[in-house]
Amino acid sequence: MLHEDFADPSFSAAVIGWQKTHGRHALPWQNTRDAYLIWLSEIMLQQTQVSAVLGYYARFLERFPTLRELAAAPVEDVMAQWSGLGYYTRARNLHRCAQQVVAQYDGVFPSDPALLAELPGIGRSTAAAISAFSSGTRAAIMDGNVKRVFARVFGIDTFPGEKKTEQAMWRRAEALLPASGIESYTQGLMDMGATLCTRSSPDCARCPMQQRCVAHLTQRTKDLPVRKPKKAAPEKHATLLLIVDKGEVLLEQRPASGIWGGLLSLPELDGHHLAEDDEEQPAIDQTALVRAMQPFGEMESQERLMTVTHVFTHYKLHIAPLLITLARRAPLAGEARYQWLDAGRVADAALPAPVKKLLLELLGDEANSQARMF
């Protein structure tokens, strides 16, 4: 259904004309109708910039060149390829989606956006983009770039995350769809938001919407889109056990849900939280530490390392690593979620980015050459 109060063919014509001349045309997932390649790029690009995705995209396709190979792979392999890209729920949903497409659609993505949106990890906007680029379907997208373009061009002065505002934006997006050229139009909106109508320092001088953009004409580009009211970011604290022995480090498989779900990480010392000020950290509860170490062996030494802070979308995590060397290693019988990993394999392991960075910095050349350090 078109909403005539928002209809404006000149808008889509301007976007299409600009994209064909000035838009991006050489990205590795462009110039194809292969839904697998398009889907993978769209999932990786959720909340992640193109520059960060390019390397991961190439390596991922080298490991999983087809949808069926991705579906058949162990989830641990998928997580390893995704390690460092962040928002790990995307990787788990990616694997589940591949398996569902193979089982339900014989390995071929449906072209109907409504059916695509029912698959794991694919929302309404992503489904529209996949369908538009792979099948030429007239479907509206509404990602962060489009919201920013719409808010500025049309002078939308309410927070886009509010339900009423978002619904109005969707109605506008549907009404503005062109009769033809949906691929260039969809890509054009993405390109304008990513390269011209950026959050800070928008390049209004080169924008095809300059003469119609309410934010530009009223000098409100810094004010639109309206930002979400800020709340103080919660801070969480954890002491992680960095247990090393004979050139190996002990890792724990985290639960599928929650922070770093499904990834390997360092075991956590339950119930011990570092203080706000490193110099005033409470002493390690040695009784609790000895109890936590019982499944792994007898301690030889322990050393508190510098606190590492990692910022998530909704909170800050302060990680206090405790380096422990062993005098005697205990067998991991009955402890299936734990494993010893050779330091030389850390760089390729499915580890959260801050944990991998910590290990690579601590292990130094050993992480690459497997030379003994401990």
Cβ contacts of residue 366 below 8 Å, gap of 6+? Answer: 247, 343, 344, 372, 373
d(CA 352, CA 163): 33
Separation between Cα atoms, residue 293 and residue 326, nearest integer Å: 10
Listed in sequence order, the DSSP H helices in the chain are 9-22, 35-44, 50-63, 67-72, 75-82, 89-105, 113-116, 124-135, 144-153, 163-175, 182-191, 214-217, 286-293, 353-363, 366-369
How remote is the C-alpha of 113 from its chain's centroid?
22
Q: Which residues are catalytic?
A: 42
Task: Tell me how crowded residue 88 is: count the other CB atoms within 10 A of its CB.
Answer: 20
What single string gives the DSSP state of each residue in 104-151? HHTT---S-HHHHTTSTT--HHHHHHHHHHHH--------HHHHHHHH
Q: How far is CA 106 from CA 68, 196, 299, 353, in A?
A: 9, 40, 53, 35
How many angstroms separate the CA atoms of 21 and 31, rounded? 15
- Report how far residue 66's alpha carbon sits from residue 101's, in angstroms, rounded to the nearest whole number: 12
* Residue 367 and residue 348 in contact, taking contact as beta carbons nearer than 8 Å: no
Cβ distance 100 to 151 under 8 Å?
no
| 282 residue type, one letter | P
User: CB count, 10 Å around CB of 100?
Assistant: 15
Amino acid, single-letter form, for residue 76? E
